[in-house]
Amino acid sequence: MSTATGVVLLVAILCYGVLGGADFGTGLWDLTAGGAARGAPARSLIDHAIGPVWEANHTWLIFCLVLLWSGFPTAFSAIMTTLYIPLGIAAFGIVLRGSGFAFRKVSMHTAEQRLNGIAFASSSVITPLCFGAVAGGIASGRVPTAGHGDPITSWLNPTSVLGGVLAVLTCGYLAALFLTAEAHRDGAPALEQWSRRRAVASAVACGVVAVAGLFVLRHDAHRLYDELLHRGWPLMAVSALAGLAALLMTLRPGRMSPALIRPIGALAVAAVLAGWGAAQYPYLLGTHLDLHAAAAPGSTMTALLVVAILALLLVVPSLVWLLVLTHRGNLVTGDD
């Protein structure tokens, strides 16, 4: 039962990582798109690409939180009393990202747009950085079962740095892939090229950091490293192959629609996250608190699984409809 809830939690993290991650990643490209005039087309593309979907994608995070605090309350409380600094920053980052984005969309003056845009874009980079650091702290066993772990080294350590950097880069990668597809659909070759270059660059960066990361893990989180290579190797292989395939397809434009590259790139990212879950199993925190020991009573777990099934029946079809409408360009802004 606790394993089933753990799997649901991992799936929610996967969805947040891929869908929410792509939305966060646009912030990286928005931030570096240049001045108001030069960056205008790219920012407009980003606006239309994530405008209709970011709130829905963001909801996966809420799902992760409620699954964690209802299903594994001790672990939730341990994480919150240890990693409160990056989590507090992430909470504020979420506020600034969402408000900044929504405000920029409706601001009239360049100065206002710039201010809101900076709030949106910089917090879109900081938030995944924090979440990656939090994941690193949990994975490397720096959150004690009883909580109240070291408030600094729990997130300022090699695995956390790896987690943070990898999170920002994968978000950027996903965003670039999604934006390429979006620009392609809109028939905007210049923007497509712009996004494509960023997809290639961030794909290479992700690959390099991921490989280097294995060495970091070998020293800093040895069990995780072992299990990634033993239990998790098929997933790592899937990730590497999907990543390479997506990269090759992106490098040769025209051979394949960018809309088809998108799921392959997403698979590469999802497989890494799933690998993390598989490698850490059966532990929830480091190597000291397992899913079973952290679990809430059986009746709570049953209720959570019922909620998960309801989500599968109600939310997933609705979400698919939203994503299909968005990708077909049926959701657009404008008063009239």
Partner 1 sequence: MSVLMLAAADPSQLLPAREQMAFTLGFHIILVPFGVAFTFITMVANWRGLRHDDAEAMLLAQRWSQVAAVLFAVGAVSGTVLSFEMGLLWPGLMDRYGAAYGLPFAVEGIFFFLEAIFVAIYIYGWKRLSPWVHFWSGLPVVLSGVGGTFSVVAANSWMNSPGGITVRDGKVVDVDVWQVFFNDSFWYEALHMLLAAYVVAGFTVAGVYAVGILRGRWDRYHRIGLLMPLTVGAVAIPLQIAMGDVIARYVFNAEPAKFAAIEALPHTRTHAPETLGGVLVDGKMHFGIQIPSGASLLSGFSPSTKVHGLDAVPAPVRPPDNLVNVVHLSFDVMVGTGFALLGLALWFVWLWWRSRAVEPNRWFLRAVAVSGLVAIVSLECGWIVTEVGRQPWTVVGLLLTRDAVQTSGDLWPFFGGAVLIYSGVTVGSVYALRGLRRRWAQGETTSVPYGPDNDPDQGHTGDPGLVDAS
Question: Footprint of partner 1 on residues 134-153 (CB under 8 A)?
Answer: 147-148, 151
Q: Could you say which residues in the range 188-207 bind partner 1, by CB under 8 A?
A: 188, 190-191
Residue 86 sits in the site that holds partner 1 (CB under 8 A): no
Which residue from 233, 263, 241, 276 is spatially nearest to 13, judged by alpha carbons?
Answer: 276
The gap between the terminal CA atoms of the chain, to the nearest Å, is 51
Q: Which tokens belong to 214?
A: 């294995």
Residue number with CB closer to partner 1 (61 or 274): 61
Which residue from 243, 244, 249, 253 is spatially nearest to 261, judged by alpha carbons?
Answer: 249
Residue number with CB closer to partner 1 (108 or 252): 108
SS3 state of residue 284: strand
SS3 state of residue 289: strand
Q: Which tokens belong to 186?
A: 């809109």
**Least distance (Å) between residue 223 CB and partner 1:** 26
One residue of 41, 253, 263, 277 binding partner 1 per CB under 8 A: 41
Q: Which tokens belong to 195?
A: 């996004």
Residue number with CB closer to partner 1 (215 or 321): 321
Distance between CA atoms of residues 158 and 155, nearest Å: 9
Residue 244 sits in the site that holds partner 1 (CB under 8 A): no
Residue 186 sits in the site that holds partner 1 (CB under 8 A): yes
Q: Could you say which residues in the range 265-324 bind partner 1, by CB under 8 A?
A: 296-297, 299-300, 302-304, 307, 310-311, 314-315, 318-319, 321-322
Q: Is 5 exposed, middle or buried (0-12, 13-18, 19+ CB in 10 A)?
A: buried
Which residue from 207, 138, 141, 133 is spatially nearest to 164, judged by alpha carbons?
Answer: 133
Segment interacting with partner 1 (CB under 8 A) among 74-82, 199-207, 235-243, 274-282: 74-82
Determine phi and psi for 145, rounding to 5 degrees. Answer: -55, -40
Kindly write out the interface string for residues 1-40 of this chain, putting x where it contacts partner 1 by CB under 8 A and - elsewhere: ----------------------------------xxx-xx
Q: Is 84 exposed, middle or buried (0-12, 13-18, 19+ CB in 10 A)?
A: middle
One residue of 43, 142, 184, 196 binding partner 1 per CB under 8 A: 43
One residue of 18, 28, 49, 291 binding partner 1 per CB under 8 A: 49
Determine phi and psi for 28, rounding to 5 degrees. Answer: -60, -45
Q: What region does 143 belong to: left with phi over 0, alpha with psi -120 to 50, or beta?
A: beta
Residue number with CB closer to partner 1 (76 or 225): 76
**Least distance (Å) between residue 315 CB and partner 1:** 5
3-state secondary structure 181-250: HHHHHHCCHHHHHHHHHHHHHHHHHHHHHHHHHHHHHHHHCHHHHHHHHCCCHHHHHHHHHHHHHHHHHH
Segment interacting with partner 1 (CB under 8 A) among 93-101, 157-165, 167-175, 268-276: 93-101
Residue number with CB closer to partner 1 (98 or 136): 98
Q: Could you say which residues in the range 101-120 bind partner 1, by CB under 8 A?
A: 101-103, 105-110, 112-113, 116-117, 119
Distance between CA atoms of residues 109 and 54, nearest Å: 24
Q: Could you say which residues in the range 163-182 bind partner 1, by CB under 8 A?
A: 182
**Least distance (Å) between residue 272 CB and partner 1:** 25
Residue number with CB closer to partner 1 (184 or 227): 184
One residue of 3, 59, 145, 287 binding partner 1 per CB under 8 A: 59
Residue number with CB closer to partner 1 (268 or 284): 284
Residue number with CB closer to partner 1 (52 or 277): 52
